[in-house]
């Protein structure tokens, strides 16, 4: 009962923040709403008893990822941030079908996931060996291949970043001499 009330609180909080993310025009406020939404989702995970996922949500999304948005946006001058109109009207309209398609895919994946979810399968194991241990053992046995593929994707991204950010081997000509 208490758990359900807290769940309702966090979900309402998450929905309100998500609405805030799409309705506010000032990018800094959008980031604050996004942060609030991520924290609310972490709260939902905690009420559901998934402490590890909740803590990772907090550590990876709320801190490690959202902080880069802040990092970029703090460089946005004050006058530009409060500007109302957007330059990307036509682009927005053009990309709408694709966005709808993506949302449709999300719904399909979600429904498939509901059917495939191992309801109550891990409850015993969690009670016996604990939250983090169960996630680890499932990740490194059943989903090991998918896990490794994801890490290869991350590695590719990292190599790309290093390539873009590396120093040029040849320096530009010095005009001042």
What's the first-to-final CA gap in the chain, in angstroms? 77
Of 11, 79, 72, the C-alpha closest to 45 is 11
* Coil/strand/helix, residue 84: coil
Residue 160 binding other proteins, by CB under 8 A:
no
Among 130, 139, 142, 159, binds other proteins (CB under 8 A): 130
Report how far Cα 126 is from the mean position of its chain's Cα atoms. 25
**Minimum separation from the CB atom of position 31 to other proteins (A):** 8
**Minimum separation from the CB atom of position 89 to other proteins (A):** 27
Q: How far apart are CA 125 and CA 122, in angstroms?
A: 5
Nearer to other proteins, 9 or 28 (CB): 28
Q: Are 40 and 13 in contact (CB under 8 A)?
A: yes
**Minimum separation from the CB atom of position 76 to other proteins (A):** 8
Nearer to other proteins, 104 or 158 (CB): 158
Contact range with other proteins by CB under 8 A, out of 55-63, 83-91, 143-151, 163-171: 55-63
Nearer to other proteins, 59 or 139 (CB): 59
Among 6, 18, 21, 52, binds other proteins (CB under 8 A): 52
Residues 56-115 that bind other proteins (CB under 8 A): 56, 58-59, 62-64, 67-68, 70-71, 73-75, 78
Q: Are 83 and 26 in contact (CB under 8 A)?
A: no
**Minimum separation from the CB atom of position 62 to other proteins (A):** 7
Q: Are 34 and 22 in contact (CB under 8 A)?
A: no
Give how many residues touch other proteins by CB under 8 A.
24
- Alpha carbon distances (Å) from 156 to 61, 146, 159: 20, 15, 5
Q: How far apart are CA 168 and CA 164, in angstroms?
A: 10
- Contact residues: other proteins, CB under 8 A: 28, 32, 35, 51-52, 54-56, 58-59, 62-64, 67-68, 70-71, 73-75, 78, 130-132
């Amino acid at each position: 009962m208490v758990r359900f009330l807290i769940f309702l609180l966090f979900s309402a909080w998450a929905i309100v923040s998500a609405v805030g993310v799409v309705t506010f025009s000032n990018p800094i406020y959008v980031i604050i709403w996004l942060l609030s939404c991520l924290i609310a989702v972490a709260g939902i995970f905690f009420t559901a008893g998934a402490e590890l996922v909740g803590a990772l949500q907090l550590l990876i999304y709320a801190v490690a990822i959202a902080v880069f948005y802040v990092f970029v946006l703090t460089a946005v001058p004050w006058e530009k941030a409060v500007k109302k109109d957007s330059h990307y009207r036509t682009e927005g309209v053009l990309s709408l079908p694709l966005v709808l398609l993506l949302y449709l895919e999300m719904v399909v994946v979600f429904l498939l996931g509901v059917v495939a979810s191992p309801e109550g399968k891990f409850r015993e194991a969690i009670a016996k060996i604990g939250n983090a241990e169960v996630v680890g053992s499932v990740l490194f046995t059943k989903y090991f291949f998918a896990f490794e593929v994801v890490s290869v994707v991350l590695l590719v991204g990292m190599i790309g970043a290093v390539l873009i950010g590396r120093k040029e081997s040849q320096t530009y000509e010095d005009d001042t001499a």
